[in-house]
Structure 1
């Protein structure tokens, strides 16, 4: 009786060993496929980030150029205003003073 029990246990052990091996192989394949999918997604994500970063840098550069141009133009207008104010201060002719005020 003990011998039969040992044989049955050995057969069950071998069967479970085969089942476990197949299970582990299947899981290993699934893990490898998931790893490849993650790597592909990461590569695509890096590409999208690089494209977005390039577009962002371009927009920032354009905005900076526009801002610099606006600053220069505003500086010129301010200088012209100061020049007119200085002329207004030193001008003695009332008619010319009115013309200068109209330009401001």
Structure 2
């Protein structure tokens, strides 16, 4: 089967035209891909910077929190010890009150009030 010469010329022209158009699309897409790659890299750097700042802030906050906990814990232990001492004193006074009589009993009641 022979293809007429005119048809061959038309198909060749269409092929060349499509080749130019497709090449242009490839170049345009390549540029867009490169631009997107640069934007992604820039965003990656920004994310890394933000992560570093966040880690630093967390470390500072953690240090402050640990310090506050240590201070609060020491104060709580001191107060608890005071409460226990007062409790022991009051318990001893109550025990004496049970067996005391007369003037001593009045004195103990005043001290417990």
> Same fold by TM-score, threshold 0.5 exceeded?
yes
In structure 2, the residue matched to 1:55 is: 64
Q: CA deviation at 1:33?
A: 0.5
Give the Cα separation in 2 of the matches to 1:3 and 1:91: 126
Q: 1:82-103 deviations in whole A, cap 9, x for unaligned? A: 11112222323x1111011100
Q: Cα offset for 1:39?
A: 0.7
What is the CA distance between 1:74 and its match in structure 2?
0.3
Separation of aligned partners in 1, 2:95 and 2:12: 119
TM-score by length of 1: 0.93
CA–CA distance in structure 2, aligned partners of residues 86 and 3 of structure 1: 118
Aligned length: 103
- Please list every run of 5 or more consecutive structure 1 residues that lacks an aligned counterpart in the other structure: none
Return the match for 1:21 from 13, 16, 30. 30
TM-score by length of 2: 0.86
Give the alignment partner of residue 100 of structure 1, picking from 91, 108, 113.
108
**Greater CA drift, 56-65 or 71-80:** 56-65
**Structure 1 Cα separation of the partners of residues 11 and 97 of structure 2:** 122
- Give the alignment's Cα RMSD to 1 decimal: 1.0
